[in-house]
Amino acid sequence: MKISAIIPAAGRGTRIGSPTPKQFLFLNGKPILNHTLEVFECSGIIDSLVLVGPEQEVKTTLAQWLKTSSIVTQVVAGGEKRQDSVFKGFQALDKDTDIVVVHDGVRPFVTMEMIFESVEAAKRHGAAIVAVPIGDTLKKVNPGGFVECTVDRERIWKVQTPQAFQYGVLHKAFQKAAADSFYGTDEGSLIERMGGEIKIVPGSELNIKITRREDLVLGESILNSS
């Protein structure tokens, strides 16, 4: 069985307020993206990996991984939106791929257990996403910024990555999304629209996505305490 991964890392980092794309900002002495890729490299179950990045970085910074990694087989330029970037990565996969794992390049605290468990769940169910249950109280707010009501948080989960899919399931989901001009916030939402079954794999509150300046501070704390 061939397991391939797509790592979208084409973000510009506007929310983090840096001229440097956030995936290339340093955590504990090395770029965030390096931390992420090293986990996939060490997992031992990924046969090939497509790295999707900013067009201007494809032939320079990102191309280094083609020479130094045993699993990075292609580096491609991203699209306008995240879904476009993941789809470009999907198009670059070998057609004999059985399971596709998608993971945010700026989510460096993914574990090998999360990768393995999401892959195993996708084998059995067709699609799987890593997520954590909501612990905070949720409020629905009106356009004026006032609370309308408290939202029942039972059975509400916060979605993370990795997300894993059988190749044919994800291919069909991308085709339908393109036909409908639909953009989802994650690949799981594309499966939902087809009525597909998606298995939840428990994640971790430490599996943060680096999107804001304070996330860098939290990331350093996580690394220093591990």
The DSSP annotation for the chain comes to --EEEEEE-----TTTT-SS-GGGSEETTEEHHHHHHHHHHHHS--SEEEEEE-HHHHTTTTTHHHHH-SSEEEEEE--SSHHHHHHHHHHTS-TT--EEEE--TT-TT--HHHHHHHHHHHHHHSEEEEEEE--S-EEEE-TTS-EEEEEP-TT-EEEEEEEEEEHHHHHHHHHHHHHHT---SSHHHHHHHTT---EEEE--TT-----SHHHHHHHHHHHHH-
- Mean of per-residue pLDDT scores for the chain: 95
Question: Which positions ≥6 away from 147 have C-beta within 8 Å?
Answer: 139, 140, 141
Q: What pLDDT, on the 0 to 100 scale, is given for residue 62?
A: 85
pTM (2 d.p.) = 0.95
Q: What pLDDT, on the 0 to 100 scale, is given for residue 13?
A: 66
- Model confidence at 14, pLDDT cuts 50, 70, 90, reads low
Q: What pLDDT, on the 0 to 100 scale, is given for residue 143?
A: 97
Domains of the chain: 3-129+159-225 (3.90.550.10)
User: Per-residue pLDDT for 63 more than 90?
Assistant: no
> Of the ranges 46-50, 105-109, 220-224, which one carries the lowest mean pLDDT score?
220-224
Tell me what the mean pLDDT of segment 146-151 comes to.
98
Tell me what the mean pLDDT of segment 85-101 comes to.
97
Q: What pLDDT, on the 0 to 100 scale, is given for residue 20?
A: 83
CA quadruple 59, 216, 222, 83: dihedral sign: negative
Question: Which positions ≥6 away from 45 have C-beta within 8 Å?
Answer: 3, 115, 116, 119
Tell me what the mean pLDDT of segment 165-179 comes to.
98
Strand partners, 199: 128
Tell me what the mean pLDDT of segment 138-154 comes to.
97
- Tokens encoding 110: 């993914």
Tell me what the mean pLDDT of segment 193-200 comes to.
96
Which residue in the block uniquely carries the two structure tokens 């990768």? 115
Instruction: Determine whether 61 is exposed, middle or buried from the number of CB atoms within 10 Å of its CB (0-12, 13-18, 19+).
Output: middle
Phi, psi (deg, nearest 5) at residue 221? -65, -40
Per the rule left: phi > 0, alpha: psi between -120 and 50, beta: everything else, 141 is beta
Q: What pLDDT, on the 0 to 100 scale, is given for residue 208?
A: 98
Q: What pLDDT, on the 0 to 100 scale, is given for residue 18?
A: 75
Which residue in the block uniquely carries the two structure tokens 């700026």? 106
User: Per-residue pLDDT for 75 more than 90?
Assistant: yes
Tell me what the mean pLDDT of segment 51-57 comes to.
92
Cβ atoms 195, 220 nearer than 8 A: no
What is the rounded distance in angstroms from the CA atom of residue 94 to the CA atom of residue 97? 6
